[in-house]
Amino acid sequence: MSGFPDDFLWGAATAAYQVEGSPLADGAGTSIWHRFTHDPRLMIATGDTGDVACDHYNRMESDVELMKQLGLQAYRFSVSWSRVLPEGTGRVNEAGLDFYRRLVDRLLEAGIEPLATLYHWDLPAALDDRGGWLNRESAEWFAEYAGVMFRALDGKVKKWATLNEPWVVADGGYLNGVLAPGHRSIFECAIVSRNLMRAHGRAVQTYRECGAHEVGLVINIEPKYPASDSPEDLAATARADAYMNRQYFDPALLGTCPPELPVIYGEAWEDWSAEDLALCCQPVDFVGINYYTRSVVRASETAWPLFAEHVVQEGAPHTETDWEVFPEAMTRTLLWFRERYGDLPVYIMENGAAFSDPATSAAEGIPDDDRCQYLAEHIAAVRDAIAAGVDIRGYMVWSLFDNLEWALGYAKRFGIVHVDYETLARTPKHSARLYRQIIASNGAELEHAA
């Protein structure tokens, strides 16, 4: 027995702006990420852009063939909103929509289930010019776009995610300014958080009108551990948890807001109306959870706005992005999710790590022992959560390819497939070989993994 259900779904994940390249091809509109990476006032430190990325837009068919060779059963991708609706609303760009039609068809021909995410951070710039997620009309814009995609592909795509990681959108894009669109305002962060969840709700409503399969959302969880048992550290940990984790799950699944949020946002906070909470809390068919690391938290008088700070765990293993490797927290957070939100079906939509990968010949592959160990330990953590009763139905490794890691550019590699950014050649790493064995054995190969 492997510990995984017989119909467990094994796959890999990417995001449009990170892998596709050709962001303006065939009539596509500009996105906030294209604008961000080309604006000298905002552009990421490395000067990298998504203009080429992994060139997946032009290499899609061979990439799907590679997925098949790796034994993937599912591929989670995101749709570029501005590729389909260049102005964000109104006119549909059929050439852009056709790319996703062809992608889905090739996946199905290869025996790979397509999992589509509607929003992975790349808002059309035309809508940003109208206020973007600060505009309450954004929920209706998103519902219109969602309807276009549902009518075009539902049935071939049977699992849809509305948003990916709304916390990252609000915190990185509107509070700290390190991600597109590069704003820095706690007032804006509070508004965007609400409008993102309203948009999720409207998209789910739209799916119930024209879809016939499953719809959910994807939220990143970073479990928070107190640095001590002091009242101050416990309170700081609760604030950090409310801000990053419960701020999005509670409205979507409970129809409430965490009580810590008014304290965190201060004068920027405005109570959510009963109507907004009801809109956010639409019944979903599954939840996607992204897990990478945990955070140990202590109180801090200067760490605004949470007055809580992360405590680095000296001596613990860390990834290239300075994230602690702590797989047991993955089991813990999946159990926490079940205890708080009930027996909803769960898919691990992202889990992976950036490590330094020494390049060797294609014949030998790319050795990445640290990533092999990370994946084996975290997949085992998923198995432990299943054994404890969590209804987990699939696992998507992040990421299929080395790609543009947002504000970190191309410096950090998360892929199980190495991408040579000069030639764009793909070379499976040892982790891809391990993952293929895990898939083929439905997890039984974990007993022999790193």
Q: Which residues are catalytic?
A: 165, 350
From 434, 418, 316, select the one nearest 376 (Cα to Cα): 434
Residue 210's Cβ-count burial label (10 Å; 0-12, 13-18, 19+) is exposed
Q: Which stretches of 137-230 are assigned E, i.e. beta strand?
A: 159-164, 214-220, 224-226
Contact 306, 239 (CB under 8 A): yes
Q: Name the phi and psi angles at 314, rounded to 5.
A: -60, 135
Distance of CA 126 to the CA centre of its chain: 23
From 177, 308, 181, select the one nearest 240 (Cα to Cα): 308
Residues β-bridged to residue 318: 324
Q: Is 434 helix (H, G, I), strand (E, B) or coil?
A: helix
Cα distance between residue 84 and residue 91, in whole Å: 9
- At 388, which helix (H) or strand (E)? none
DSSP 411: S
Residues β-bridged to residue 296: 225
From 156, 287, 139, select the one nearest 202 (Cα to Cα): 139
Sequence-ordered alpha helix ranges (H) in 154-298: 166-170, 186-210, 231-241, 247-253, 261-265, 274-280
Contact 57, 444 (CB under 8 A): no
What would the two tokens of residue 133 be?
Answer: 């997620």
Residues β-bridged to residue 390: none
Q: Is 224 helix (H, G, I), strand (E, B) or coil?
A: strand
From 430, 438, 419, select the one nearest 378 (Cα to Cα): 438
Residue whose structure tokens are 């951070």: 121
Residue 368: which region, alpha, beta or left (left: phi > 0; alpha: psi -120 to 50)? beta
